[in-house]
Amino acid sequence: MKIRVLGAYGAEGLGQRPTSFLVNDRILIDAGTVGGALTLPEQSQIEHALITHSHLDHVAGLAFLAETLAFAETRSPLTVASLEPVVNALRVGVFNNMAWPDFAQIPAEAPVMKYRTLVEEAEQRVGDTWVTPVAVNHAVPTSGFIVHDGSTGFLFSGDTGPTDALWKAARGLRGLRAAFVECAFPNRMADLAAVAGHLTPELLRREIDKLPADLPVWIYHVKPQFYDEIAGELARIDAARLTILEQDKTYTI
């Protein structure tokens, strides 16, 4: 599988885009940014968007992608998929004709996007992959995902504080190559991380103890203003095992 980092961060900064990954050119995992990282033809190829939750740093790019696709001469139908409370939040809170038009109804003859509610903790076909959504612990309903193509796979944590279900669901899975795990705040902001449902490097250290010891951990969702501080704290935990993902780079597993 090819995983391209469209946005590696937990917010927007100069040249730093919010969370978004593109799997095999066709499947988005989160959509904090899309048009800021892809050409129009690349955007038109996207068929699925797996959305972890409704926060803007994960969906702002989906709003603009929908509008871009509405004007595109050729496009694939875009299926926006997640657990039921996340799909509801997108309908009610984002594509509600207030914050943004309801592109599940526009244009009437062939709407740009449709919603798909995924079954929790069940493996289901999404494009050329198998996806298992697992609820994690964040300030709003949020799903992590296990993505597998039959031979290799990876975990994607979503925004989350300490959790168990996702790591448990992946236990024993063959071909697991990496865990994408969020880390938003430095250790001194542990109180905020607890309230907001995020990880600090110290909390992350305890999470990765729940994962297979040889599984690489790829970090994303660092808040831009704390990047250097967080990178320093992560390097002191396990520099060999932890990698902070680089924006615009494609990782192959």
Chain positions contacting Zn ion, by CB under 5 A: 10, 55, 57, 159
Least distance from C-beta 137 to Zn ion, angstroms?
11
Least distance from C-beta 77 to Zn ion, angstroms?
27
Tokens of 226: 């704390």
Measured from the CB atom, the residue of 47 and 159 that comes closer to Zn ion is: 159
Least distance from C-beta 155 to Zn ion, angstroms?
17
Contact predicate 152/175, CB 8 Å: yes
Least distance from C-beta 3 to Zn ion, angstroms?
18
Measured from the CB atom, the residue of 55 and 177 that comes closer to Zn ion is: 55
Least distance from C-beta 7 to Zn ion, angstroms?
10
> What 8-state DSSP symbol labels residue 77?
P
Contact predicate 28/46, CB 8 Å: yes
Name the 3-class secondary structure at 151: coil
Which residues make beta-bridge pairs with 23? 3, 27
In one-letter notation, the amino acid at residue 110 is A
Measured from the CB atom, the residue of 159 and 207 that comes closer to Zn ion is: 159
> What 8-state DSSP symbol labels residue 187?
G
CA distance 150 to 208: 24
Measured from the CB atom, the residue of 10 and 133 that comes closer to Zn ion is: 10
Least distance from C-beta 85 to Zn ion, angstroms?
14
Measured from the CB atom, the residue of 220 and 251 that comes closer to Zn ion is: 220
Measured from the CB atom, the residue of 47 and 57 that comes closer to Zn ion is: 57
Burial 147-182 (b: 16+ CB within 10 A, else e): bbbeeebbbbbbbbbebeebbebbeeeeebbbbbbb
> What 8-state DSSP symbol labels residue 97?
S
